Amino acid sequence: MAKLLGGYDVRHRIVLRTWHDHSRGWRSRWLRRICKTDVIHITLQVGEMSYHCDRWRSGWIPTYPLWSAYKKSGVYSLHRELDLGFTMVPVRNNYPQSNTLNTMLKYFFGVGKNENCGSAIRQALGDNGFNVPDFITAPLDIMEYVDDHYRIFR
């Protein structure tokens, strides 16, 4: 049973979500082609905040407004949701913002870092107790790895 602090439950829910990306932009089309799927976006909810990372911004955003923005934009639709349990002390650091050029250099030439929404979520998961190896970078692969290796928490 969770401890109550001043009558409030201090547990923070952790939820990993993958999203279909329906954008018609060149970046999304290119990522869908190299990943061979349209599931190319991932977010992590810790408590009432979700980590969102794209080419313009990166950071923790309140979950409800983020979901509302996704729904209104028509760019993302929910693919899968994985409830990982709870944490008593959420870690909400800032992580590197996505960079298409770095992703392309890594993909075509094997140089640099592949910093994308998946790498940011991988670091956020690690900070909250769910370690994912560095070589797993695609959102769908991160979801499958976490599902396979952390079933004990559900």
List the CATH number of the domain containing 16.
Answer: 3.90.1720
Encode pLDDT of 100-146 as tens digits: 677 777 777 888 777 778 888 999 999 999 999 988 888 999 999 99
CB atoms within 10 A of CB 102: 17
CB-based contact 133:124 (threshold 8 Å): no
94 in Cβ contact with 57 (< 8 Å) = no
- Over range 40-61, report the average pLDDT: 91
pLDDT digits (tens, 9 = 90+) for 125-137: 999 999 999 888 8
Domain count across the chain: 1
